[in-house]
Amino acid sequence: MTSPSLDVRLTRSQSGSILDIDFVGGLTDGTVAAPVPASTSSAMPPLACSNVAASTAMVTSGRKLKILEHRVHKVEMRQKENDESEEELVVSNLRPFLLKVGVHDHMDNPILDCSLPLRASLLYENGLPVKQTSSSEPLVVGETDVVALQGAATFKLRITSLSSHRDKQRFRIQVAPQDMEMLQLEPALCVVSDPMKSVTKLGRVAAPPLPLPSPMPGLGELGGDLSSLKRKYRDTLDVHSRQIQNMVDTQQMIMHELQSVMMMARRAALNGGLVTPKQEI
């Protein structure tokens, strides 16, 4: 990474407090940093990212991290204290989930020509870091150290701690540069995910109930159509009955002819293959 080249001019009062900050020159990549009044705090991401502070005047290049994709195992509805419902992200401590972040400039455009080593860590929903318990297993396992290439990095993570073991608190994933000095110079290179509840068993989603079959109409509802239906079905049965009788008659005729042929064959065999006129039918 090329360090920014800027001249910083500080205006102090007699008591030593900073009244104004002026930047002289430009950054090495051609962008120009805007003046930052002393009365306005530096724009920093929320939660734990805001705990990073530089001992010297902070110079930013406009780069920032942005969450591009966050895949969880389940989405439930939870009731808030004001009786409103909201979606709650749920992950299992037995399965990994994906978190993809991108490196963007101050115009929110992806920076494709960068190679930025990043690290994922675990926070509570309120932004406080999660402390390691007596268990030797890390709080977050998987691909926790990833290098952002061509402007994006994908983390495959698994939270080992359970919300039920942490006073039902939810968790967030913080992604920031592995180099703490870089994070001090560019505090916007830090992003946190939406809160997630960590459980062991995800449970099953209840299947929607099957629709009840529509009731059959009663005889009274059919009215005059009942007689026409009976007549129609009676005519159809009569036609089928006649067809079946014709098939039976044809079958009997075929059987009679077969018997006659068999008798002639036996007589021919007894007479040496000669058939007399008396043997003919």
CA distance 38 to 152: 34
pLDDT in tens, 63-92: 999 999 999 999 998 888 888 888 999 999
Pairing outcome for strands 152-159 and 171-177: unpaired
Contact of 9 with 21, CB cutoff 8 Å? yes
CA distance 230 to 47: 79
pLDDT in tens, 208-265: 555 655 665 555 555 556 677 777 777 788 888 888 888 888 888 888 888 888 888 8
Q: How far apart are the first and last CA of the chain?
A: 114
Strand ranges inside 80-125, DSSP E: 85-92, 97-104, 115-124
Contact of 165 with 42, CB cutoff 8 Å? no
Number of H helices and E strands in the chain, helices first, is 3, 13
Pairing outcome for strands 145-149 and 196-199: unpaired
The type of residue at 40 is T
The structure's pTM equals: 0.54
Q: How many residues does the chain have?
A: 281
pLDDT in tens, 106-152: 999 999 998 999 999 999 999 999 998 777 789 999 999 999 999 99
